[in-house]
Amino acid sequence: MGERDPIVTKEQSERVIQIFKERNATVSETWVNSHELTQEAVLAAREIL
């Protein structure tokens, strides 16, 4: 999720996280700068999966 995402706001991302948590999902967050797939995010996802 992007801290300064021009497409999906931080508030919208936080709301989606909350929706999943309300449904007892395990949520792992990795925030990047914008609406992009970074190496950091890929490595974080790799660790989670």
Look at the chain and report how many structural domains it folds into.
Answer: 1
Q: What is the pLDDT of residue 45?
A: 87
Sequential pLDDT tens for the chain (49 residues) = 788 889 999 999 999 999 999 999 999 888 888 888 889 889 988 988 8
Q: What is the pLDDT of residue 44?
A: 86
Q: What is the pLDDT of residue 25?
A: 97
- Domain membership of residue 37 (yes or no) is yes
Q: What is the pLDDT of residue 8?
A: 92
Q: What is the pTM of this model?
A: 0.75
Look at the block and give the residue holding tokens 């989670």: 48
At 24, the amino acid letter reads N
- Domain membership of residue 38 (yes or no) is yes
- Domain membership of residue 2 (yes or no) is no
- Domain membership of residue 5 (yes or no) is no
- Domain membership of residue 20 (yes or no) is yes
DSSP string of 4-49, one letter each residue: T-SSS-HHHHHHHHHHHHHTT-------BSSSS--HHHHHHHHHH-
Cα–Cα distance between 9 and 2 in angstroms, integer?
A: 8
